[in-house]
Amino acid sequence: MTFPGGVINVLKPPGMTSHDVVSYIRRQYGQKRVGHAGTLDPAAAGVLPVFLGKATRLIEYFADDDKSYRAEIILGVATDTGDDTGKVLCSQDVIMPETEALITALNSFRGRQEQIPPMYSAIKVDGKKMYELARAGITVAREARTIDISNIGLIRRLEQGFSFDVTCSKGTYIRSLCEDIGKKLGYPAMMSFLVRTRVGAFALEQAHTLEEIAVQPLQVLQPADLMLGRLPTICLSAAEFTEMIHGRPVICPDTCYPADERVRMYDEEKRFVGIGRLVQSPVNLVLKPEKIMFTDPS
């Protein structure tokens, strides 16, 4: 059976890598072109958007989406990986801070800041992933990266830690955030649990388990363009459609969208044509093709 392209909101189980999930989807759908948006740690669970067929060409438009997580932090313990899968480096007794102190510490991480990524990450140094170097006992200098935490809040106190929700920009390492929160509270710390609850428009409540995907492979597929709902839409006339699929810009249809705006383009039959960008020329606003997905004029 030939399966149409699309995107699946996968609920990745703990113990599988993101690549493992992609391999599973390839086998289930008999598709070679499969990719994912936003790597999730093997020990973590949660939302993993997986794209099939032509939809893989749209992954780049999801790369900058904010992500939301629920994490659990244990105070008084540090490991070499930053989570409970690693080797314990140190431990100490903990007197749990008051709730107000926990809230204050979490709130101090709101906004733009610099974060040093962990050694156990997939960032490449001289062609080698850092976690491969770390497993070989090699530590390298890591440059801080700018991240943005738009929301963070306490969920529940534990005997020796607490759980919290966080919404952050791409490239944020929650393991490193847990360690930094521990330092703010005066303790070593590690992440003991992580579930990703959202990637852009993909929410945990609508995610599908691998078992559900195996039973209803067609039903779980969604058109990738619908998940780009944050982009405004423009309907092309037949003549504009012809120009677009041949890579030629058109004078922009009447629109209140500003220059440099990306838009989803549809033909007169409401079929998704692709992604365009509005560009201000010396004379008028033009719509330039950026990613054409549909080219059948019939």
Catalytic positions, written as ranges: 41
The Cα 177–Cα 10 span in angstroms is 25
pLDDT tens profile 56-66: 999 999 988 99
Write a three-state SS string for the chain: CCCCCEEEEEEECCCCCHHHHHHHHHHHHCCCCEEECCCCCCCCEEEEEEEEHHHHHHHHHHCCCCEEEEEEEEECEEECCCECCCCEEEECCCCCCCHHHHHHHHHCCCEEEEECCCCCCCCEECCEEHHHHHHCCCCCCCCCEEEEEEEEEEEEEECCEEEEEEEECCCCCHHHHHHHHHHHHCCCEEEEEEEEEEECCEEHHHCECHHHHHHCCCCCCECHHHHHCCCCEEECCHHHHHHHHCCCCEECCCCCCCCCCEEEEECCCCCEEEEEEEEECCCCEEEEEEEECCCCCC
pLDDT band for 294, please (50, 70, 90 cuts): confident
pLDDT tens profile 29-77: 999 999 999 889 888 999 999 999 999 999 999 988 999 999 999 999 9
pLDDT band for 280, please (50, 70, 90 cuts): confident
pLDDT band for 143, please (50, 70, 90 cuts): confident
- Cβ distance 175 to 119 under 8 Å? no
Which residue, chain included where needed, has tokens 């012809």? Answer: 242
pLDDT band for 254, please (50, 70, 90 cuts): low
pLDDT tens profile 109-128: 999 999 988 877 777 777 77
Beta bridge partners of 279: 286
pLDDT band for 15, please (50, 70, 90 cuts): very high
Averaged pLDDT for residues 154-167: 98
This prediction's pTM: 0.90
The Cα 169–Cα 190 span in angstroms is 21
- Cβ distance 184 to 105 under 8 Å? yes
Q: Which residue has the higher pLDDT, 285 or 35?
A: 35
pLDDT tens profile 170-221: 999 999 999 999 999 999 999 999 999 999 999 999 999 999 999 999 999 9
Q: So what's the pLDDT on residue 128? A: 74
- pLDDT of 1 higher than 70: no
- Cβ distance 79 to 88 under 8 Å? yes
The Cα 296–Cα 245 span in angstroms is 9
Selection from 4, 2, 8, 3 nearest residue 221 by Cα: 8
Q: What are phi and psi of 174, to 5 degrees?
A: -70, -30
